[in-house]
Structure 1
């Protein structure tokens, strides 16, 4: 009888342990299957999908979402103009912040945009809206912030750390080849106006100056570093061009300035030290664009 009682106690203990384990497992699975997470946005705490499946992006963060493998069902015209995004957006629709009805038709479960976008209150009735202020965060922290919004902070952080390391290594190679004191300018031709850029306004500036730590000409530093960019006339470009020039322009635009004597006489032009890039592929500083910029610079400076 005592033997039977002992066996009963042992079996009961095993059953209770098993139930406890199953309970813990169920609890963990329930946590993993949570439908929403709380994201600390610029506007306060927002409940967003834990696994967003239909995202509309109305700002310069499309490439961040592409890098993180997030499904995009709608994006702005700037994103569709970028050939680097073509494959990822092949099933998406072009929309704008003013096209509320078009966005509703896409049935998004998350909308990501800029803090200045229109119709934010209307769009909040469609899906959770997360907005960011351009340049409030540095380019790598911005990617991590987007990652947090779509519950992929770990992946975003790992990419940011890896990219920073790879870009720094490439910068060291470039400086070893062109010289520590060689300077690089970034300029863009847009609608008959010329701009030179500081170190945080896209166009590859974050990669060249922040990650690679290449030298910026003093004329650009004095004019564009604080504001981010500085408008000049095409005739003045030579005054803001370093030993090398990264020239962002539209291949289909008016590039007649490149045939002028003022342009042809710039030393960097004479010495074949100009990297011409397509503006639409170089505008932003999202993760996908940053990867493209890094590869472009490696090919140009190092012949990789």
Structure 2
């Protein structure tokens, strides 16, 4: 009886060893058997953007953007916001691209409810009113890019390329921009004698302004991109000091007047072009005034600047090309 119990015990042990050996053989015969499966890499749904108000966590791929002051910058990358102020939507440079974008009105308290109704996942604003910015932040992640942050197309396009994760597209679009500038400059080569100066000036509301090479009245296109020469007074008082606009008294207009003047009359200003001071300017006497269309020369986004470069070159071709042909 004892022998039979021992036989049964050994049988159980042998059976257990057989199962274990079989299991080990199976594991060795199947690649990666017994190993944990690799966890698939999940792309982050958000990312961090550095701003003047600190780091802001935004969606990695925002789908419902509301912007105040930067509509054209998004459209330049083929990104269509769901809301923007009416003056941006109606800009002649982007009007064809802005169909269907909701008007959120002025940058004031009335915009909050309109923005909320659009259910945005990102707000990008010039943000002059911090109390408003706080209300926007309660609706969606909000990036504040203050007015005048960018004074040059390349800088601005690269910044928005980083914001949107479209750095390569920014480089491609800047290459196209540079090619347009190159062609525009070639089209006026030889028309402008060396040393010829150009001013941008005009009345706005009840004051008279001189403009530099920044965000006002085509300054980027005229001075930065086409390389037209400003009067020394404009260079020292505005451009070198990074002043975009400066109001001057009537008596000082002549001190900033170039050989040619790009004239902007806007803001409901009444301007008497027969006034003694204005009529005494050499540019006026010699028909060297180019009148700017405010709708086309107020915007300062990359799309607008690219169009303004071409328009200014056309103005110079038409006026100076005729004079050259007459000689």
Q: TM-score scaled by structure 2?
A: 0.75
**SS of residue in 1 equivalent to 2:49:** strand
1:52 partner SS? coil
1:82-112 superposed Cα distances (whole Å, 9 cap, x missing partner): 3333333332213324221111011111111
The answer on whether the counterparts of 2:76 and 2:303 sit within 8 Å (CA) in structure 1 is: yes
Q: Is 2:250 aligned against 1:238?
A: no
Per the alignment, residue 84 of structure 1 pairs with 93
Q: Secondary structure of the equivalent of 2:264?
A: strand
- Alignment of 1:114 onto 2:126: yes
CA offset digits 1:200-240 (Å, max 9, x no partner) = 23322122222222211012223322122210245643332
Pair 1:102-2:114 in alignment: yes
- Indicate the larger mover: 193-202 or 252-261: 252-261
The reply to whether residue 278 of structure 1 matches residue 293 of structure 2 is: yes
Structure 1 CA distance, aligned partners of 2:115 and 2:225? 37
Distance 2:223 2:190 in 1: 16
Which structure would you say has the larger Rg?
A: 2
Question: d(CA) in 2 for partners of 1:267 and 1:37?
Answer: 57
* Residues 139-288 of structure 1 mapped to structure 2, 5 A cutoff: 139=152, 140-168=154-182, 170-171=184-185, 173-225=187-239, 226=241, 227-234=243-250, 236-250=252-266, 253-288=268-303
Tell whether the 8 Å contact from 1:175 to 1:214 is kept in structure 2 after alignment.
Answer: no
Q: Take 1:168 and 1:265, find their aligned partners in 2: how far apart are those partners?
A: 36
- Inter-partner Cα distance in structure 1 for 2:129 and 2:171: 27
RMSD of aligned Cα (Å)? 3.1
- TM-score normalised to structure 1 length: 0.80
Contact 1:110 1:128 in 2 (8 A): yes
Q: 1:255 to 1:147 in 2, by over 3 A?
A: farther
CA deviation after TM superposition for structure 1 residue 300, in Å: 0.9
In the superposition, relative to structure 1, how do residues 245 and 12 fare at CA in structure 2: closer, same or farther (>3 Å)?
A: farther
67, 70, 73: which is aligned to 2:82?
73
**Cα shift at 1:178:** 0.7
SS of 1:256's partner is coil
Task: Describe the shift of the 1:35–1:259 C-alpha distance in structure 2 as closer, same or farther (beyond 3 A).
Answer: farther
Unaligned runs of 5+ in 2: 1-28, 322-327
- After TM superposition, the structure 1 stretch with the greater mean CA deviation from structure 2, 38-47 or 195-204, is 38-47
Question: Bigger CA drift: 211-220 or 134-143?
Answer: 134-143
CA distance in 2 between counterparts of 1:186 and 1:43 reads 34
- Unmatched tracts of structure 1, length 5 or more: 1-10
